Structure 1
Amino acid sequence: MYNKVIMVGNLTRDIELKYLPSGAAVARSSIATSYKYKAQDGSQKEEVCFLEFNIFGRIAEVANQYLRKGSKVLLEGRLVYESWTAQDGSTKNRHTLRVDEMKMLDSKGSSEGSGYNNQSQSYGNSNQNNYGAQAPKDYEQPSYDNYGGGAMKPNKASNIPEIDIDDEIPF
């Protein structure tokens, strides 16, 4: 089977960056995208889709450094079905996007891009044909009842170099 999703939209909240005990970075956020169409009665309709996503490794650190709520981004990855037991004993389920590739679509210095542009920056795994890429072994299903509380301390945050985006883009 083939599981590949490409979403273009705006972040609905800032990136939440945490680190696993191994030091691997995990970023979480959500993206909003919309589809506009004309209904049979001639009126304009719009469907909005919100999707949570997870990014692992260096891409997660780059996302945390450069993306903010409202940033326009292209995310490429695969859908993952998550299931967990809430504190009240009920089973909760949802689909999330496990991101393999990320492309920032905002123009430089803007958090409200106006679509695709030729100055976007792309980040992804070195093995681009590895569509079945797995999360790090020590990644555990998050507890959504305590979501946002008690963030883990970064183990290797001091080793993350600042990226001067002006030096990275050749034009």
Structure 2
Amino acid sequence: MYNKITLVGHFTRDVELRHLSSGSVLGKTGIATNHIYKRQDGTKAEETCFVDIDLWGRTAEIASQYLHKGSKVLVEGRLKLESWNDQYGNKRNKHSVVVENLVMLDSKRDSGGGAFDQSPSYQPKSLSNPAPPKREPEKVPEIDVNDDMPF
């Protein structure tokens, strides 16, 4: 199965860091994404989607240090379904995103300083593990098309 999601939007709140007993660091925040479209009558409409996101390890620490409410980011990750029973015994569900890659999109001016290089060759910084080495494509066996086919 394939479970991948990419979102570009703004943080809805500052990153809340938690240091777990296992030694892991968990950062929780939210992202708001906008979708602008034209209605049938020709007027423009905007739809905003709010999604909770979980950041782990060094990515959570760096995001907490350099990003804040309103920071523009690109997140890549996977959807996770959380289920629990509320105080009245009703079953509740919520989807969230477990972030595997985070790219800061604000410029140094927009972010309030510190996290970004101001050089003309600026490239957004990606906060993830480096990509695995590329594998050679598998060789496809050759098929003799001159054989007589029974159909």
TM-score for both structures, normalised by structure 1:
0.68
Q: What is the aligned partner in structure 1 of residue 22 from structure 2? A: 22
Q: What is the aligned partner in structure 2 of residue 49 from structure 1? A: 49
Larger radius of gyration: 2
Q: What is the aligned partner in structure 2 of residue 95 from structure 1? A: 95
Q: In the comparison of the two structures, how many residue pairs are matched?
A: 125
1:128–1:92 Cα change, 3 Å: farther
Q: Does 1:36 align with 2:36?
A: yes
Amino acid at match of 2:88: D
Q: Distance in 1 between matches of 2:90 and 2:30?
A: 23
Tell me by how many angstroms 1:109 deviates: 3.8
Q: Does 1:122 align with 2:120?
A: no
CA RMSD of aligned residues (A): 1.9
Q: What is the aligned partner in structure 2 of residue 141 from structure 1? A: none
Amino acid at match of 1:85: N
> What is the SS of the residue equivalent to 2:54?
strand
Q: Distance in 2 between matches of 1:100 and 1:128?
A: 13
1:20-66 CA distances to partner (integer Å, 9 max, x unpaired)?
10211000000001011111110001111000000111111111111
1:42–1:6 Cα change, 3 Å: same
Which runs of 5 or more residues in structure 2 are unaligned?
Answer: 113-120, 134-151
Which runs of 5 or more residues in structure 1 are unaligned?
Answer: 130-171
Q: Is residue 107–residue 119 contact of structure 1 (8 Å, CA) maintained in 2?
A: no
% identical aligned pairs: 49
Tell me by how many angstroms 1:105 deviates: 0.4
